[in-house]
Amino acid sequence: MTPSTTATTLSSTDRSTPGRTKHRTLFDRAALYDVLDAGLLCHLGLVLDGSPVVLPTGYGRDGDTLYLHGSTGARSLRAAADGIDVCVTVTHLDGIVYARSLNHHSMNYRSAVVHGRARPVTEREEKLHGLRAVTEHMAPGSWEHARGINTKEYAAVSVLALPLHEASVKVRAEGPNDDAEDVEANAAWAGVLPIRQVFGTPEPAADLATDLPIPEHVAARTAQASTGPRTSSR
């Protein structure tokens, strides 16, 4: 699935180059992978009848390919499968930045914005590969544990592949940037209130037989703060 030549830096076309806050923009591929791999949901943007539509959906990554999946009946995926431009954004909110001034209030975050043309995946081996990438991203271990996809289910799902060629990553992971006069005045508190996403205790389905314990691939996630930031917030 990985293209034979993989650039280690990200492209910087006009639309993937932020016009401001350049100092927050990272252009290495490892940073892109980090943000994508730490997320669970992306926001898929496309143009339908001339208007922008932004929908939350799951995804998976294999090398430099991002896979999306959905029902063959979903209008947004049908449109994207026709080969129109999409924008996929993954954002982690890591903290609220309280500054001495209202003007310097901000948020700490990591975000990846990917632009490109999604291609429908129809070849059987790659389609199963894409479904596995999406499933294992959302629920690692389920591909082996759960009942596999039958012929009817296979036909009812569509998979899209988006190349990770044109993308940008932005990270803010620091304290407030107050003006010197406000620091000097010492009239208001300043700092960061960290935010992270945590897994709770697994809740067995109401109709689950009592002899099935919570499997390790599910239970292990509760112990992790797997979607938290990897960088300090100050």
- Chain residues 51-80 in contact with a second copy, contact rule CB under 8 A: 51-56, 58, 71, 73-75
d(CA 33, CA 123): 25
Out of 11, 33, 119, 139, name the contact with a second copy by CB under 8 A.
139
Q: Is residue 163 within the footprint of a second copy (CB under 8 A)?
A: no
Distance (Å, whole) CA 142 – CA 148: 10
Residue type, 161: A
- The rounded distance, in Å, linking the Cα atoms of 197 and 227 is 6
Cα–Cα nearest to 190, from 199, 200, 180, 198: 180
Residue 189, burial from CB neighbour count under 10 angstroms (0-12, 13-18, 19+): exposed
CB-wise, 29 or 43, nearer to a second copy?
43
Three-class DSSP category at 85: strand
Our CB check for a second copy shows the closer of 30 and 209 to be 209
- Classify burial at 93, counting beta carbons within 10 Å of its beta carbon; exposed 0-12, middle 13-18, buried 19 or more: middle
Number of alpha carbons in the 13 Å side-chain half-sphere of residue 229? 21
Segment near a second copy (CB under 8 A), from 27-35, 47-55, 60-68, 118-126? 47-55
Find out whether 170 and 79 touch, Cβ atoms under 8 Å: no
DSSP state of 9: B
**155 near a second copy, rule: CB under 8 A:** no
**Is residue 149 a contact point for a second copy (CB under 8 A)?**
yes
Least distance between a second copy and beta carbon 176 (Å): 6
User: Of these, 29, 119, 163, 218, which contacts a second copy (CB under 8 A)?
Assistant: 218
Task: Note whether 146 binds a second copy by CB under 8 A.
Answer: yes
Question: Does residue 30 belong to the site contacting a second copy (CB under 8 A)?
Answer: no
Among 28, 82, 85, 122, binds a second copy (CB under 8 A): 85
Nearer to a second copy, 8 or 56 (CB): 56
- Distance set, CA 169 to CA 6, 84, 104 (Å): 17, 22, 22
Q: Is 213 in the site for a second copy (CB under 8 A)?
A: yes
Task: Say whether 223 sits in a helix, a strand or coil.
Answer: helix
Instruction: Print the binding letters for residues 165-204 with a second copy: x by CB under 8 A, - otherwise.
Output: ----------xx-x---xx-xxxxxxxxxxxxxxxxxxxx
The residue among 119 and 221 lying less far from a second copy, judged by its C-beta, is 221
29's tokens: 């591929």
The residue range among 30-38, 60-68, 118-126, 140-148 that interacts with a second copy, by the rule CB under 8 A, is 140-148
CB of 129 to a second copy, least distance (A): 14
Per CB under 8 A, 11 contacts a second copy: no
Cβ-contact 164, 87 below 8 angstroms:
no
